[in-house]
Copies of this chain bind each other. A is one copy, B any other.
Amino acid sequence: MKKNTLFLRTINKELVDRPPVWLMRQAGRILPEYKAIRAKLTGFKELVKSPELAAEVTLQPVDLLKVDAAILFSDILVIPEAMGLDYEMIEARGPFFPKTIQSKSDIDQLLTGKKAADRLDYVYNTITEINKHLPENIPLIGFAGAPWTILAYMIEGKGSKTFSLAKKFLYAEPEWSHFLLDKITDSTIHYLRNQVKAGVQTLQLFDSWAGLLSMEQFNTFSLPYMQRIKEAIPEVPLTIFAKGAMLQLQEIAEIKPDVIGIDWNISPLRVRQWLGADTVLQGNMDPCLLYATPEHVFEETVKMCREFGRNHIANLGHGVYPDTPLEGVKAFIAAVKSISYLE
């Protein structure tokens, strides 16, 4: 196991010199080298399912941008697919599930747990492939969608501003909702354990649609399932990123993730006020800042790092947007690397 990396030492609260830096969605989207590979393929899913190519695009930002962590190139929707709901990724529109969950019998028919996770060999093979080439000092981050976010897609069948079908399901069928969340959680635990066995050193849960829930719904339908995942996988550190749920940071902290992901809706100072200096936080630059001039990006990034202080992993507050200029990304990374806690 790699232990001596800036990223893992930060999570361990060792005395590091500066924050580690990586960007959500760094693998894919922004690099011309990624676009070149993508252009040769029929689509996004072909890339996800090709271990050699997925490994290559995972490694690109490490080589080209010199970030401090690699994140597996994959998709949170491989779990619903492994459970039996195939999906298409439609260019410029997003995911589409021809079949969605409509009834209890739809849920009964899903594959679950080990059976679902074992269908994702291509992911584990990608991890093996990445580790053949990843530098010693760079950890590999594995990930999955948080159960509520996965349920949202399984019910709604596609992206949505409101996910009102999925939320209707929570209100109208709370028991079935829990039944489905339980199956998703079980599959996700097996999936993440397999990722760890294959060679990731840390994990992140993306609760991308946490912000659509009321506080009570988040506490009922999201948080307990993330807690189960956290407790089931004590081997590696876990980051929980519940986008849009910054009002519930204290509740998230109570389930004791190793790192808490912060979106850009809250200022570092406010988060520190709520969670203290000791909590390891990841985030939270507005991805739109990267459209500004490199000088402005640099200045704001330094300010953000100063405000977070120690126990911080520098990142954006959301995935990098596809049309982000590379100079903005580079200025962001350079700014983090200019930080010295010793000064």
Chain A interface (Cβ within 8 Å of chain B)?
161-162, 164, 167-168, 170-172, 211, 213-217, 244, 246-247, 264-267, 270, 286-289, 291-293, 296, 317, 321, 323
Contact = CB atoms under 8 A, between A and B. Distances in A.
B267 A214 contact: yes
5 contacts: A161-B161, A171-B292, A214-B265, A215-B265, A246-B247
Given A214-B264, A214-B267, A168 B244 contact: no
Copies of the protein in its oligomer? 2
B267 A162 contact: no
Most chain B CB atoms below 10 A, which of A217, A286, A288, A321 = A288
A321 B162 contact: yes
Contact of A291 (B172, B213, B244, B246): B172
A264 B214 CA distance: 6
A172 B266 contact: no
Contacts of A286: 167, 214, 217
A288 B164 contact: yes
Contact of A270 (B162, B247, B293): B247
A317 B162 CA distance: 13
Contacts of A172: 291-293
Contacts of A244: 211, 265
Contact of A296 (B171, B215, B291): B171
Given A161-B161, A286-B167, A266 B247 contact: yes
A289 B162 CA distance: 13
A292 B173 CA distance: 9
A219 to B, nearest CB: 10
Given A172-B292, A247-B247, A293-B172, A265 B211 contact: yes
A215 B247 contact: no
Given A171-B289, A288-B171, A292-B172, A270 B161 contact: no
Contacts of A288: 162, 164, 167-168, 170-171
Given A168-B292, A211-B244, 5 more contacts: A162-B288, A164-B287, A216-B267, A217-B286, A247-B270
Contacts of A214: 264-265, 267, 286, 317
A244 B246 CA distance: 11
A148 to B, nearest CB: 14
Nearest to A292: B171
Contacts of A296: 171
Contacts of A293: 172
A147 B164 CA distance: 28
A144 to B, nearest CB: 22
A213 B172 CA distance: 33
B215 A270 contact: yes
B291 A171 contact: yes
B247 A164 contact: no
Most chain B CB atoms below 10 A, which of A161, A213, A265, A323 = A265
A168 B291 contact: yes
A299 to B, nearest CB: 12
A82 to B, nearest CB: 27
